[in-house]
Chain A
Amino acid sequence: MSIGIDPSPKFAAYAHPERLVSGEWLQEHLGEAGLVVVESDEDVLLYETGHIPGAVKIDWHTDLNDPVTRDYIDGAAFARLVGEKGIARDTTVVIYGDKSNWWAAYALWVFSLFGHEDVRLLDGGRDKWIAEGRPITTEVPAPEPVDYPAVERDDSTLRAFRDDVRSAIGRIPLIDVRSPEEYVGDRTTAPAYPEEGTLRAGHIPTAQNVPWAKAAAEDQTFKPLEELQAIYRDGAGLAESDEVIAYCRIGERSSHTWFVLTHLLGYPKVRNYDGSWTEWGSAVAVPIVKGAEPGEAPGA
């Protein structure tokens, strides 16, 4: 019972046009059975200041992360979370958020770990919706809870762990989506972001630096296909790659890049290393390169 796709010509050029919707499309379909709109922001209170009518909120930190283990919630907790929001296994989920959908893409990636099939992003996210003068409300919906099956999270396809990354060095292209300052090793967190106690600075050997926001246009939408191809295929040399691993600091910015590579450019096997720099930069005896050059694989 999933809902038809947005036929916008811009999306049609992408590898998976069904993964994006425009504000116009969403406004037309609001309230339709089988559609749930989810807001996911960096700021945990932004939803409360006003959101798309009928949209529910999922917070990346308090909802999607396990409160004890550094991991995502398990299948039972995910089923409980989304079931309470009125999301069934076959629901079309459209996620949007602040900062060019940075956190919305992260939520979408987590939905994908659980194999939720029809999950899309609102191109341009929250800011574009508001800029276009579309409706906003502070009324919090009370959805009828539905049964969502407890599906085991698949960590093997879309997610990379430290050892996967280690064995990928020199074999699979790595994309470091952090700021140039973090990449060269001048700092361990994004400029103006809190220090999270990572012990070493730099990047994983061989990783190309393509800051995530390069894929976002001024109005926070995704850039058109040709521009994305110029950035990733030509610029970062991903032309012939089947596999790619993206990382950042905790896996949020790289979810945005994961979305671009997987759904817009159509790379068949892209994994997000969510341990990212907060793990790698504190791990013992893993190789690190400083400076602007990607560097060589150890022993190469």
Chain B
Amino acid sequence: MPTIDDTAAEGLPPALAEIRDDFLALPVKERLQLLLEFSRELPALPERYAEHPDLLERVEECQAPVYVFVELDEAEVVQVFATAPEQAPTTRGFASIVVQGLSGLTREQVLAVPDDYPLTIGLTEAVSPLRIRGMMGLLGRVKRQVRAAAGASAGA
């Protein structure tokens, strides 16, 4: 197991840094609109998952049913897939941020993302701390799956 580099944890991956800066640049009320845009951008699941919902893991920390799944390729580059109902735009927005912010990162980069990232993007006040906890759960699940996937491929 390679150890997580402390300096890497401080330097946020560019996509996540950009998302955070975009939110922080807006007044609190407009941040909700940006989150809504994210919710609309959540990509549909690729067919292989759309037909196999059993492959997706339910995120218990979110109020709405949201499911995530990660894939790692041979170069240990991570792709994140997620789905959440249309009637739960906040949760969809969180999922979209996680998908857009983490997909394309390496395994190590994903594991180095600070667990409190959701608390730093200026949404706590706009959506309430209770709800932001759902996004923390989402991030935690992704990191756990990435860790487990790495372990599985090492053992194969």
- A-side residues, CB < 8 A to B, are 42-46, 48-49, 59, 61-62, 65, 98, 192-196
Contact = CB atoms under 8 A, between A and B. Distances in A.
B126 A193 contact: no
Contacts of B33: 48
Contacts of B125: 62
Interface residues of B, number: 28
Contact of B63 (A42, A59, A62, A65): A42
Nearest to B35: A45
Contacts of A42: 63
Query: Main secondary structure on chain A at its contact with chain B?
Result: loop
B90 A194 contact: no
Contacts of A61: 128, 130-131
Given A43-B64, A44-B32, A192-B65, A49 B130 contact: no
Given A192-B60, A194-B137, A44 B130 contact: no
Contacts of B60: 192, 194-195
Interface in B47-90: 58, 60-65, 86-90
Contacts, number: 59
A169 to B, nearest CB: 29
Contact of A48 (B32, B61, B64): B32
A98 B87 contact: yes
A49 B131 contact: no
Nearest to A61: B128
B127 A44 contact: yes
Contacts of A62: 125-128
Nearest to B58: A192
8 contacts: A43-B89, A45-B89, A62-B125, A62-B126, A62-B127, A194-B60, A194-B130, A194-B137
